[in-house]
């Protein structure tokens, strides 16, 4: 962990009881008795939609002998469940939404682990999601090596008129390799590579089917081929920020696992059938669960 990256000026006052921390978008605070049940958290799993979070929590509970599932009271922003050492939380779509979830969850981990950096570093983080494949067919699952923005530079934010805050979008190699190992023999189509996270589904992904169109068929193809030549294997909307923020605190174990819904070299619209989409989502969930089982349950079948 990197102590210097942590906002201790604010967070240590929460530990001493000088003031509470209100995780507003999750509808809980550090004074909420509900959080006492989460002290043993070992993994934080994020996904875009609340429905997926509920399914993941039920599945993990079943694998843990029907462990109690704790539901956070507020669900109008993010849906959150905790069971058997794993906190499952939705983050919505895009980096503005997901950054709120990630920052509040990081603060929560600091509180839950009482600022103990070693205990915090035992926590595994992952986002499981969907993406557009770059040269990969629908159904392929990408475990990200590095998260970048659409210009192949790392995540950054405006620092007022003074410049930009830069971040590091690398995903830890050891975690990625452990995920691949946990899935050996699963038959699932898994690759690893760089992922770009965009601020928009249409324009920054060079789609030609948005309400607004900025590119031609040629410039779109050129962009996607440039990405491919630079090792990018998929496009989504959160990964660059996720890695950036977790690296700021120096977490050593986090990953992103995304199913490709389509091959962007071949099209823009998501035309897979509901059954296919369901299968893609199941497969990326399986990749996560194969790893979670090996990490927290010592392997074993479902």
Instruction: Please tell me whether residue 223 binds ligand URA under the rule CB under 6 A.
Output: no
Indicate whether 47 belongs to the interface with ligand URA (CB under 6 A).
no
Residue for token pair 């779509």: 93
Cα–Cα distance measured from residue 148 to residue 178, given in angstroms and rounded to the nearest whole number: 22
237 binds ligand URA (CB under 6 A): yes
Could you tell me the smallest distance in angstroms from the CB atom of residue 237 to ligand R2B?
3
Residue 14 contacts residue 28 (beta carbons within 8 Å): no
Residue 235, classed as helix, strand or coil, is: strand
Based on the shown chain and the rule CB under 6 A, indicate whether residue 283 belongs to the binding site for ligand URA: no
Q: Does 235 bind ligand URA (CB under 6 A)?
A: yes
Q: Considering CB distances under 5 to 8 angstroms, the limit depending on partner class, which of ligand R2B, ligand URA, none binds residue 286?
A: none
Nearest approach, Cβ of residue 63 and ligand R2B (Å): 26
Question: Nearest distance from residue 201's CB to ligand R2B, in Å?
Answer: 5
Give yes or no for a contact between 45 and 288, defined as CB atoms under 8 angstroms apart: yes
Q: CB 269 → ligand URA: shortest distance, Å?
A: 9
Stretch that binds ligand R2B, among 2-10, 53-61, 129-137, 161-169 (CB under 6 A): 129-137
Show Cβ contacts of residue 169 under 8 Å, excluding neighbours closer than 6 positions: 146, 147, 148, 154, 155, 239, 240, 243, 244, 247
**Exposed (0-12), middle (13-18) or buried (19+): which is 169, by Cβ within 10 Å?**
buried
How far apart (Å, rounded) are the C-alpha atoms in residues 172 and 123?
Answer: 13
201: contact with ligand URA by CB under 6 A: yes
Shortest separation between residue 154's beta carbon and ligand URA, angstroms: 18
Task: Note whether 223 binds ligand R2B by CB under 6 A.
Answer: no
Q: State the minimum distance, in angstroms, from the CB of residue 131 to ligand URA.
A: 5
Q: Positive or negative CA dihedral for 198, 164, 1, 26? A: negative
Partner from ligand R2B, ligand URA, none binding residue 85, C-beta < 5-8 Å depending on class: none
Q: Is 233 helix (H, G, I), strand (E, B) or coil?
A: strand
| Structure tokens that stand for 78 in this block | 């993010």
**Contact residues: ligand R2B, CB under 6 A:** 48, 93, 129-131, 201, 236-238
**Contact residues: ligand URA, CB under 6 A:** 130-132, 201, 205, 235-237, 261
């Amino acid at each position: 962990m990197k102590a210097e990256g942590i906002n201790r000026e604010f967070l240590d006052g929460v530990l001493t009881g000088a003031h509470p921390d209100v995780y507003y978008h999750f509808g809980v605070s550090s004074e909420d008795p509900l959080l006492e049940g989460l002290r043993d958290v070992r993994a934080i799993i994020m996904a875009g939609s609340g429905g997926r979070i509920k399914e993941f929590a039920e599945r993990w509970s079943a694998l843990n002998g029907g462990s109690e599932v704790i539901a956070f009271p507020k669900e109008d922003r993010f849906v959150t469940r905790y069971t058997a050492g794993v906190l499952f939380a939705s983050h919505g779509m895009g980096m503005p939404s997901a950054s709120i979830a990630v920052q509040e969850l990081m603060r929560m981990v600091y509180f839950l682990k009482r600022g103990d950096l070693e205990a915090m570093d035992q926590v595994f983080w992952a986002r499981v999601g969907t993406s557009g494949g770059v040269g990969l067919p629908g159904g392929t699952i990408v475990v990200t090596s590095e998260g970048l923005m659409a210009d192949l530079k790392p995540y950054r934010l405006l620092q007022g008129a003074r410049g930009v805050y830069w971040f590091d979008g690398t995903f830890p190699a050891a975690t990625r390799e452990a995920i691949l190992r946990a899935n050996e023999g699963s038959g699932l189509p898994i690759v690893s590579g760089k992922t770009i996270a965009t601020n928009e589904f249409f324009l920054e992904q060079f789609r030609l089917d948005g309400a607004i169109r900025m590119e031609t068929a040629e410039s779109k193809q050129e962009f996607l081929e440039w990405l491919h030549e630079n090792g990018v294997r998929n496009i989504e909307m959160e990964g660059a920020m996720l890695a950036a923020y977790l690296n700021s605190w120096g977490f050593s174990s986090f990953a992103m696992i995304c199913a490709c819904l389509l091959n962007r070299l071949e099209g823009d619209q998501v035309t897979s059938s509901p059954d296919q989409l369901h299968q893609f989502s199941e497969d990326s969930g399986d990749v996560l669960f194969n790893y979670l089982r090996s990490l927290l349950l010592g392997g074993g079948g479902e």
